[in-house]
Chain A
Amino acid sequence: MNLTINGQAVQTDTPADMPLLWVLRDQLKLTGTKFGCGVAACGACTVLVDGQAVRSCVTLASHLLGKNIRTIESLGSAEQPHALQQAWIAEQVPQCGYCQSGMLMAAAALLERNPKPSDADIDAAMTNICRCGTYQRVRAAIHRAAGATQTALQPSPRQGVTA
Chain B
Amino acid sequence: MKRRTWILSALGATGALVVGWGVMPPRSRLGKPAAMLPTQGEVALNGWIKIAQDGSVVLAMARSEMGQGVHTALAMLVAEELDVPLARVRLEQAGSDAIYGNVSMLLGSLPFHPLESEGGTKPAKVKVGEWVVSKLARELGINATGGSSSVADGWQPLRMAAATARASLIGAAAAQWKVPASEITVTAGRVQHASGPSAHYGELAPAAAASTPANVVPKDRKDWKLIGTAAPRSDLMAKVNGSAGFGLDVRLPDMLFAAVRMSPMLGGSVGSIDSKAALALPGVQQVVALDAAHGSSAGFAVVGQTTWHARQGAQAVVAQWQPRAQGALDTKAIAASLQSQLDRESGFTFFDQGDIEAAEKSAAKVLEASYTAPYLAHATMEPMNCTAQVKNGAVEIWAPTQIPSSARAAAAKAAGVDPDQVTVHVTLLGGGFGRRLEVDFVAQAVKVAMATAGKPVQLSWSREEDMGHDFYRPMHAARLKATVDAQGQVQSLRIKSAGDAISPRWMERAVPLLAGPVDMPDKTTSEGLFDLPYGFAHQQMAHVATNMGVPVGFWRSVGHSHNAFFSESFIDELAAATQKDPLEFRRSLLQAAPRYLAVLNLAASKAQWGSALPAGRARGIALHESFGSIVAEVAEVSLEGGMPRVHRVVCAIDCGTVVNPGIVAQQMEGAVVMGLTAALWGKIDIEGGVVQQSNFTNYPMLQLAHAPVVETHVITSERTPGGVGEPGLPPIAPAVSNALFALSGKRHRSLPLVA
Interface residues of A (CB under 8 A from B): 15, 18-19, 22, 25-27, 29-39, 41-42, 44, 71-73, 75-78, 81, 84-85, 88-89, 92-101, 104, 122-124, 126-139, 160
Contacts and interface: CB of A to CB of B under 8 A. Distances in A.
B379 A131 contact: yes
Contacts, number: 194
Given A25-B248, A39-B697, 7 more contacts: A38-B464, A44-B381, A88-B240, A92-B233, A96-B381, A97-B240, A131-B431
Interface in B432-454: 432-433
Contact of A92 (B242, B432, B433, B666): B666
B695 interface: yes
B462 A127 contact: no
Contacts of B136: none
B200 to A, nearest CB: 24
A97 B697 contact: no
A35 to B, nearest CB: 7
A129 B240 contact: no
The interface residues of chain B, by DSSP majority, are classed as loop
Contacts of A100: 239-240
A129 B672 contact: no
B236 A94 contact: yes
A33 B242 CA distance: 7
A71 B383 CA distance: 21
B703 A135 contact: yes
Interface of A is mostly: loop
A92 B669 contact: no
B669 A134 contact: yes
Contacts of B704: 122-123, 126-128, 135-136, 138-139
Contacts of B283: 15
B381 A77 contact: no
Contact of A37 (B429, B430, B695): B695
A61 to B, nearest CB: 10
A75 B241 contact: yes
Q: Please list the 4 inter-chain residue pairs (A to B) with the smallest Cβ-Cβ separation, ordered nearest first.
A: A32-B242, A133-B673, A98-B430, A96-B67
Interface residues of B, number: 65
Nearest to B380: A131
Nearest to A73: B242
Nearest to A87: B240
Nearest to B235: A97
Nearest to B281: A15
Interface string B702-713: 111101111000
B705 A26 contact: no
A133 B674 contact: yes
Contacts of A88: 236, 240
Interface in B451-473: 460, 462-464
A131 B701 contact: yes
A136 to B, nearest CB: 6
B271 interface: no
Contacts of A128: 703-704
Contacts of A96: 65-67, 380-382, 428-432
A136 B710 contact: yes
A92 B463 CA distance: 28
B710 A31 contact: no
Given A89-B240, A132-B431, A36 B381 contact: yes
A55 to B, nearest CB: 12
Interface in B247-261: 248-249, 251, 257
Contacts of B695: 37-39, 41
B31 interface: no
Contact of B672 (A94, A97, A133): A133
B107 to A, nearest CB: 26
B249 A31 contact: yes
10 contacts: A26-B308, A31-B242, A39-B696, A75-B241, A88-B236, A89-B236, A96-B428, A97-B235, A98-B381, A128-B704
B249 A36 contact: no
A159 to B, nearest CB: 9
A160 B243 CA distance: 10
Nearest to B463: A37
Nearest to A126: B704
A67 B244 CA distance: 27
B666 A98 contact: no
B350 interface: no
Nearest to B709: A136
B67 A38 contact: no
Given A26-B257, A72-B241, A138-B704, A129 B670 contact: no
Nearest to B670: A133
Contact of A42 (B67, B232, B696): B696
Nearest to A29: B251
B354 interface: no
A35 B429 CA distance: 14
Of B65, B249, B433, most buried by chain A (CB within 10 Å of CB) is B249
A98 B307 contact: no
A26 B307 contact: yes
Of listed B244, B245, B305, residue having the most chain A CB within 10 A: B244
A78 B241 contact: yes
Given A39-B695, A94-B236, A129-B381, A34 B430 contact: yes
A23 B662 CA distance: 38
B84 interface: no
B282 to A, nearest CB: 7
B463 A22 contact: no
Nearest to A25: B307
A88 B245 CA distance: 18
Contacts of A122: 704
B194 interface: no
Given A18-B308, A42-B381, A92-B666, A97 B248 contact: no
Contacts of A124: 705
A35 B307 contact: yes
A29 B429 CA distance: 19
A99 B430 CA distance: 8
A31 B239 CA distance: 12
Contacts of A95: 67-69, 666-667, 670
Contact of A27 (B306, B669, B708): B306
Nearest to A19: B308
Interface in B379-437: 379-383, 428-433
Contacts of B61: none
B506 interface: no
Given A39-B463, A129-B381, A139-B704, A34 B235 contact: no
A34 B428 CA distance: 14
A42 B695 CA distance: 10
Nearest to B311: A38
Contacts of B669: 133-134, 136-137
B671 A133 contact: yes
Contacts of B246: 34, 97-98
Contacts of B306: 18, 22, 26-27
Interface centre among A32, A81, A98, A126 (most CB of B within 10 A): A98
B237 interface: yes
Contacts of B68: 95
B67 A132 contact: yes
